Chains A and B, each alone.
Chain A
Amino acid sequence: AQRVTQPEKLLSVFKGAPVELKCNYSYSGSPELFWYVQYSRQRLQLLLRHISRESIKGFTADLNKGETSFHLKKPFAQEEDSAMYYCALSSGGSNYKLTFGKGTLLTVNP
């Protein structure tokens, strides 16, 4: 069975500090991984997809298959980054289901 673990429920940093939100996964096949962000009382938005190797809003995430991790990083946090972040795994197949981690609430303090 596939599983996504986000070990930190809460993460608090100061503005300008680096931030890393951890995500580990368990899946026997070739995973497709995503980061979603949810700002206060808004819908979830797709932030990053591992296959694109992109940087969005200064965030990057690298898939490490050896460590089964997909950590989200940003070198200099901004107050507007305060939000709930979810890591998600797709096993592909014919139904395109996602398995979500429990989320990490990031607070960036001024």
Chain B
Amino acid sequence: DAGITQSPRHKVTETGTPVTLRCHQTENHRYMYWYRQDPGHGLRLIHYSYGVKDTDKGEVSDGYSVSRSKTEDFLLTLESATSSQTSVYFCAISRPGLAIINEQYFGPGTRLTVT
């Protein structure tokens, strides 16, 4: 499982509430990613990080912010949750250098429901 954990694993929250999801890795990987998974859309990249305090937007970043103050943790924040953000959120790490190619390994996911 590449030492990736996510917390919480399940969360139900109300519209307008701020929510923070945590991704934690134990193997000191530089690259980390947040995706959301929705039926009919597959996986879409929200934000990614290429080092401590270095982050950038993905294709569906509106309404989300991220922070990475240390290598092992990558936080995803929904500033004011909306029902359209009900989804399963996956964190991933990339292992360039361990293999010839740029494969990613995923966490177990967080199922978020916004009511």
Contacts and interface: CB of A to CB of B under 8 A. Distances in A.
B102 A32 contact: yes
A86 B103 contact: no
B31 interface: yes
Interface stretch (B36-44, B63-71, B78-86): B36-44
A95 B92 CA distance: 13
B19 to A, nearest CB: 21
Interface stretch (A13-21, A58-66, A69-77, A98-106): A98-106
Chain A's interface: helix, strand, loop or mixed, by majority? loop
A6 B41 CA distance: 11
Contacts of B44: 100
A43 B5 CA distance: 11
A31 to B, nearest CB: 11
A25 interface: no
Contact of B102 (A86, A96, A101, A103): A96
12 contacts: A6-B42, A32-B102, A43-B1, A44-B92, A46-B104, A86-B42, A90-B102, A95-B31, A96-B31, A97-B58, A98-B33, A98-B104
Interface in A47-96: 49, 51, 86, 90, 92, 94-96
Contacts of A46: 103-105
A103 B44 CA distance: 12
Contact of A90 (B90, B101, B109): B101
Contacts of B102: 32, 90, 92, 96, 98
A100 B43 contact: yes
A34 B42 contact: no
